[in-house]
Amino acid sequence: MINTDRSKQMRMMRNLILSFLIVVNTSILASNANTEHAEPEKSEYNAGEAIIGHIVDSYYWHIMDVGEKPIAIPLPVILVDEGKLFVFSSAKFHHGHESYKGFEIAHDGPNKNKIIKVNRDAHTEQQLPLDLSITKNVTAIFLSLIFICIIFISVAKSYKKRLGKTPKGLQSFIEPLIIFIRDDIAKSSIGEKKHEKFMPFLLTVFFFILINNLLGLIPFFPGGANVTGNVSVTLVLALFTFVITTINANKNYWVHIVNTPGVPWWLKFPVPLMPIVEIIGIFTKPFVLMVRLFANITAGHIIILGFMSLIFIFGNMSVGLGYGISVVSVAFAIFMGLLELLVAFIQAYVFTLLSALYFGMATEEHH
């Protein structure tokens, strides 16, 4: 009976694969047969530009394309140049095709996609104003902070109303996460006596990363912004961890760095090899935090967008070929989306755990 079921499954898989191959081969043959009578060449789909355009920051929030006209939410542009303040909507740039008040968005060069002063001379260097604009990522951070405030204010109110009662609704979802961060991350890494001091930061950074990761997986507004995949954002988060670690570090922490116990004297004197390595480690720890979060989130977005781009790449060759490859592309994109959902939780957990470990090492007492 089991062998019969397996043979049926094998036949079904074989038929699906053969059907897919037939569709692909037919599309290729049809494309080759119609080459002589083909319509004028279409502009080639640039997958690289499309992917980079989705993951980098922007001065407007793209919603969708209707024909050749994109629908987007313009965002405030705030510039300071030569002591003057300029505030206007990014719609004035018409999505980067025109200049306004002596400024434009660079389309190439080292300042690509940044606002520069209008420069008609190709031989002179591009000048950058002080840019304080509310970009897509900044707007997404504001939205995530609003979501965090709504979530925790409502949970705090429910705690007051239901004092001593079992959790209910959103409270029942948030409470296990808070207890997990307190017991399995803070207490185990920092210690029973000192963990409460660092709990506000650990909870904030965990839920900030988690909510932005989840919003980044939503392909439509208010999602789609690549906040935690922006190296500037992860740099600031890592700097917070670095500053808190350095400020709270005790005498024992610095002694272990300058005069590491258990290390042969010839590695410390006369050439302070180990102290130099330990001091470098102070700066590499936050650097690792920054790169790990940025790289993992960005890589996930690029892979998903890469699979979706295959549809348009093959679709430019032939409509039938585009439909044929879409089955595989969508299947892999859905799989990667589910994997990214798991990564969203894992990366929030890893960043919080490593921060707690650094705090624990900095505040550990001498035994």
The pLDDT tens digits of the residues spanning 199-227 come to 999 999 999 999 999 998 888 888 888 89
pTM over 0.85: no
In this structure, which long-range contacts are made by residues 207-210, counting pairs with CB atoms below 8 Å and at least 24 apart in sequence?
A: 207/148, 207/151, 207/152, 207/177, 207/348, 208/144, 208/145, 208/148, 208/237, 209/237, 209/293, 209/347, 209/348, 209/351, 209/352, 210/344, 210/345, 210/348
The backbone torsions φ and ψ at residue 81, rounded to the nearest 5 degrees and listed phi first, read -145, 125
pLDDT at 295: 92
Tell me how far CA of residue 211 lies from CA of 142, 225, 264, 288, 333, in angstroms: 12, 12, 47, 21, 21
Q: Look at residue 366 in the predicted model and tell me its pLDDT.
A: 66
Say how far residue 10 (Cα) sits from the centre of its chain. 40
Residue 244 is predicted with a pLDDT of: 95
If you compute the radius of gyration of the chain from its CA atoms, what whole number of angstroms results?
27
Tell me how far apart the alpha carbons of residues 202 and 194 are, in angstroms, rounded to a whole number: 13
Q: Are the beta carbons of 268 and 294 closer than 8 angstroms?
A: no
Q: Quick one: pLDDT at residue 156? A: 87
Tell the residue number behind the tokens 């930061």, with chain if given.
201
CA distances from 349 to 122, 216, 356 (A): 48, 17, 11
**Cα–Cα distance for residue pair 200/178, rounded to 1 Å:** 11
Residue that the structure tokens 């490593």 belong to: 354
Q: How many CB atoms lie within 10 A of CB 116?
A: 19
Give residue 353's pLDDT.
Answer: 95
Closest residue by Cα to residue 20 from 336, 328, 308: 328
Give residue 111's identity as a one-letter amino acid code: N
CB 111 within 8 A of CB 201: no
Across all residues in the chain, what is the average pLDDT?
A: 81
Place of tokens 């190709």: 122
Alpha carbon distances (Å) from 216 to 220, 229, 342: 9, 9, 13
180: nearest Cα among 207, 158, 160: 207
Among candidate residues 203, 250, 219, 354, the one with its CA nearest the CA of residue 292: 354
- pLDDT, tens digit (0-9, with 9 covering 90-100), for 313-330: 888 888 888 888 888 888
Name the residue with tokens 């306004």: 100
Q: How far is Cα 135 from Cα 76, in angstroms, rounded to an integer?
A: 7
Name 81's Cβ contacts closer than 8 Å, sequence gap at least 6.
103, 117, 129, 130
For residue 224, the SS3 value is coil
SS3 92: helix
How confident is the model over 265-282, as a mean pLDDT? 76
pLDDT: is 159 or 355 the higher one? 355
H or E element: which one contains 190? helix 188-190
DSSP tag of 100: B
Higher-confidence residue: 26 or 86? 86
Q: Using pLDDT thresholds of 50, 70 and 90, give the confidence band for residue 97.
A: low
Identify the pLDDT of residue 6: 47
Joined together, the tokens standing for residue 137 give: 């990522």
User: What are the tokens at 128?
Assistant: 């950058």
Contacts of 252 (CB under 8 A, 6+ apart): 364, 365, 366
User: What token pair was written down for 163?
Assistant: 């004092």
Q: How confident is the model at residue 68 (pLDDT cuts 50, 70, 90)?
A: low
CA gap 199, 183 in Å, rounded: 11
pLDDT at 271: 66
